[in-house]
Each structure stands twice: as C-alpha cells, then as structure tokens.
Structure 1
Amino acid sequence: MAGFVEATQVAARTDGTTFDVELDPRWTIGDKPNGGYLLAVLARAATAAEAGAPHPHPLAASATYLAAPTVGPAVVEVTPLRTGRSASQMRARLVQGGQVCVEALFTLGKLDPEAAPRWADSPAVELPPEEDCALIPVEPPGAGVKVNLMEEVEQRLDPAVLGFAFGMPSERAELRGWLRFADGTPADPIALLFVADSFPPATLPIGSVGWVPTLELTVYVRAVPAPGPLRVRQIARLVEDGLVDEVCEVWDSRGRLVAQATQLAKVRF
C-alpha cells in the first residue's frame, strides 16, 4: 500500500523537465485514477522542475482531463512558462501510451505558514464531531463503483446529508464532512489538490447515479494546513444538460479556509 506522498512521487530524467511516474491502483475510482490525485502528481513534477525549488507550493492549478489514464507507468512533461520573484508559472502534461491524458497550468509560490487572513468571509462549515459522522465505505451507496481511495482516506459525512443512502433524496445538492489520510499523514499544499476533488459527488443527495467524470478542475491553495482533520463542503451550483458544476471548500483544524475548487463534470440520473 502506497501512502499519498509515495503514490505521487515522480522520478526526473536527465533533462530535468520530464518525469516518470507509476500511477497507483489504490488512488482510483473503479479502475481509473482520481482526478485530484492526477493533479497532485502533476504538481509534484511542476515543483520539482523548478531549479532550486524557490516556489515549492502550488497556489493555483487548472487541469483539463482529455482521456482517462490507467494505473501503471506514465510520463509527466513540464514546460516552464515564467519564473518570477514571487511566483512562477508551469505547464504540465500527463502522457501515457503516447496520448496526452491530463494537461494542467500551475502558478507556484511559497506559502507562509505563519500568515493570517487580513479579511475573510469563509467561516468553517458546522459539523458534528467526527465520531458522530458516518465513515464512507469503499463501495458507497449510489456510487455504482468501488472507490479504492476510501481505503487510503477517511471521509466521514454529516448524517444530515445522508438521506439519499436510505432512499430519501434531498432538495439540496450538498455534501459535507471530515477528511483525514488513513495512515495519519498530515495534508500539505499538494495534498490539498487531491482533497479538493476527493469527496463523493454533491449530486448524490438529489438522485444522481455513480461518480461524476471531471472535465475541468481548478483549485486555489490558500494556506499551509495545520495538522489535524480537514472540514470539507461540496455543493453543486447548477445541473443541466448532463453537466454539473461543483464548488468545494476545505478548512483546516484552525477553521482556516485552506483550499477552494470548482469543477465541471458529467453527471447521470
């Protein structure tokens, strides 16, 4: 079993911008790697490609998913676009079998762990204690697929949003709960890219079927998370014509907003 850090490691080739990676079967939904996991792999390569790593943290990431890769060997190709004093921009592509599967743009910088918000309008979502929330199983009700990554991540949902699991759909497309890595690994800024795409679809409470394949995902990483469990809320803003846009917010144990994400995905009912 590979933990998150090991499962996202990349090995640089001599050119310093091409990386070999082994996509891990534990971080999959069905037989396909999770989109947030793939974005984290690309981020590892993008930060490694910058000589001296003056900007070790992804501040913003935007990925387009062109084809679903399989577990096993793949290659990440990184193109430096700009290196600045406070931020750098990189393009990264995940290639498998000669086909580009994911393409992403990154803005890299260095987050100050001691920074504090000057102004914020993002109070942490209210949740019952972790022990009073339901642990998501590897085969969640309504998912229609085995979610292998649930063996690596502990996600506990607020019972108030679980009516759909008992045949009682909701009028609100929202899921909220706790998240931590099962092996106790603390989340870092790269891990937040995965966390922002790790929750079940927010459309499950309103009757959707199965997981939702992501077409585009954008994540902002706002702070270095403090140790401890993360609070996550995922909401669908609009469902129309077979597509859903979801918003995900992540808070750390201090109640600080540490990541925000939006994605466009396919959805079935």
Structure 2
Amino acid sequence: MSTTTFAAVSAVKRRSPGGFDADISPQWTIGGKPNGGYLLALIARAAVAEREHHDVLAASAHYLRSPEPGPAEVEIETLRTGRNASQVRGRLTQDGKVAVEALFTVGTLAEGEPYWQAGLPDPRFDVESPVRVPGHTPSGLPVAIMDEIEIHLDAPSARVFTEGPSGVGELVGRLALPGGEPFDPVSLLFAIDAFPPATFDIAASGWVPTLELTAYVRARPAPGPLRVLHRAHLITDGRADESCHIWDSTGKLVAQGTQLAGIRV
C-alpha cells in the first residue's frame, strides 16, 4: 500500500518564472510507464501555482512520448488572463525532449445546483459486491499504480479479470486516493484516467497508451470515494476512444472526460 499522498507525488517546485521541477513517481505507472492522468495533474499543479484563478476548469493534453520515472521539468506560459478565466499552456519535458503538451482553462469553481443535467448518464448505480482491481492487466502486464490507489469494480465489471470481456465495453466502480485523501480539482484530472481501459471489456490487450486526453472539472468534490462510469465507444485502425463520467459521494457530477488511445487487440 502507498506510504505517500497524491498531493506529494504530483508536487512541483518553482525554479524560475514559469519553470518548475518535478519528480515522476515510479509507483504511478502501468508496465513502467507513467499514467497519463497523473502526468496531466502534475503539469496542472504548476499551471495553477500562485495564480488568482486556482481551479482547473478544462484541460487538454497530447502525449508525444512516455517519460521515464524520475526528474522532469514543467514549463508554464500564460496565454491570456481574464476576469473569470485564464488560459495557460503547460509542457512537461525530460532530457530536453517534450513528453506532454497541455492547455488549461483555469478559474474559480462555483457552488450551487446545475441549471440542467438531463443529458448526463444515469448516476444511480451502485457498486454491488465490489472487487478490487488487481495489480496486473488481463494480459499480465504489471500495474504498480494499483498498489497506490483503490479501485473497486462492481461484480459484472470485475468479471473481465476472471472470465474475460463481456463485449459491453463498460466499467463501473469506485475510486479512492491513498489513505482516503480528498480529491481536489487537480486530482480529478488524474481520476479521469485512473480506471483500467474500458476496452478490456471488449478484447484483451496490453498497455493502452493515451494519445490525447480532454477533461472538464465541473464541481469541487465532497469528501469520500468517487463513483466512475467508464465507457469505450469505437475501436478502429489501432485506436480506441473512451468517455468517463465521475460523481462524488453526494451524487454530484464533478468531472467528465474523453480520450483517444492506441490499442492492439
């Protein structure tokens, strides 16, 4: 089990105006490769550091190459500063090579009830007889990150690890950070990419690397585990797209996202 917090492993240290040092944890990896949502959250820590607008509202990242665990650098550029929102570019580099390029809209999350939400998936699902996700993929690839976080799938979703894919392309479950650490707007960027690929419920595969990830943070989450609905939509030409909706412990939608990933089936 983890002996640290997500805030600690995603922390950055300012070394110059717009420049930050980071340390990519080897524990937040899949097959030795850092999780894409974790890398996006790490860049976001720098994007909102000492900024009047301190909440991430939207983020979009392109993954050029996978960095290795260890020291890395984050460069931040303010593109626009507005009254209610600002736009920021972030770049994670290692050994002089760009690994992740990201754009953020940052602002201040407001409280209150949604004006309309009928277009959302039904959040009234329960995780019955939850099963913790093991530290390996169905094909046997080691997933060190599962020793840090807790993902419990409902019984139908968990069968992908014991009986194989159902063909539905959907995973439902709960997500918690180490030690029950509360989620914040930055760690929600990780949550969007925390679940096993929903494509596991369609066909067995190894690592499913993220090519592009877009995330919207809709509200500040209440304390407690998150409820997650992760769906695959189309697999073609060696690529798959997935969507993710996340509700907090009160049933409020707090984040949603989509991603394009590479896949071999």
- Identify the TM-score tier after normalising by the shorter chain: over 0.9
| Amino acid of the structure 2 residue aligned with 1:87 | A
Describe how 1:154-169 pairs up with structure 2 within 5 A.
154-169=150-165
Shift of 1:13: 1.4
Q: Say if 1:173 and 1:206, in contact at 8 Å, map to a contact too.
A: yes
Find the aligned partners of 1:125 and 1:212 in 2 and give their Cα distance.
Answer: 29
Find the aligned partners of 2:8 and 2:55 in 1 and give their Cα distance.
Answer: 18
Find the aligned partners of 1:163 and 1:185 in 2 and give their Cα distance.
Answer: 28
Find the aligned partners of 1:263 and 1:168 in 2 and give their Cα distance.
Answer: 23
Give the 4+ runs in structure 1 shifted more than 3 A: none
String of CA shifts for 1:133-178, please: whole Å, max 9, x gaps: 00012124x1431111111111000111233323343121111101
Q: Say if 1:2 and 1:24, in contact at 8 Å, map to a contact too.
A: no
Q: Say if 2:23 and 2:69, in contact at 8 Å, map to a contact too.
A: yes
Find the aligned partners of 1:165 and 1:12 in 2 and give their Cα distance.
Answer: 42
Describe how 1:60-79 pairs up with structure 2 within 5 A.
60-79=58-77
Q: Say if 2:127 and 2:174, in contact at 8 Å, map to a contact too.
A: no
String of CA shifts for 1:34-58, please: whole Å, max 9, x gaps: 000000000001111xxx5211111
- Secondary structure of 1:88's counterpart equals strand
Q: Which runs of 5+ in 2 are unaligned?
A: none
Counterpart selection for 1:177 from 163, 173, 176: 173
Find the aligned partners of 1:161 and 1:138 in 2 and give their Cα distance.
Answer: 16
Find the aligned partners of 1:104 and 1:117 in 2 and give their Cα distance.
Answer: 28
Q: Say if 2:133 and 2:158, in contact at 8 Å, map to a contact too.
A: no
| Amino acid of the structure 1 residue aligned with 2:102 | A
- Secondary structure of 2:89's counterpart equals strand
Find the aligned partners of 1:203 and 1:64 in 2 and give their Cα distance.
Answer: 20
1:208 aligns to what?
204
1:144 aligns to what?
140
Counterpart selection for 1:116 from 97, 113, 116: 113
Number of aligned residue pairs: give it.
261
String of CA shifts for 1:92-138, please: whole Å, max 9, x gaps: 000100000000000001112x3221111223150234xx2000121
Q: Say if 1:139 and 1:146, in contact at 8 Å, map to a contact too.
A: yes
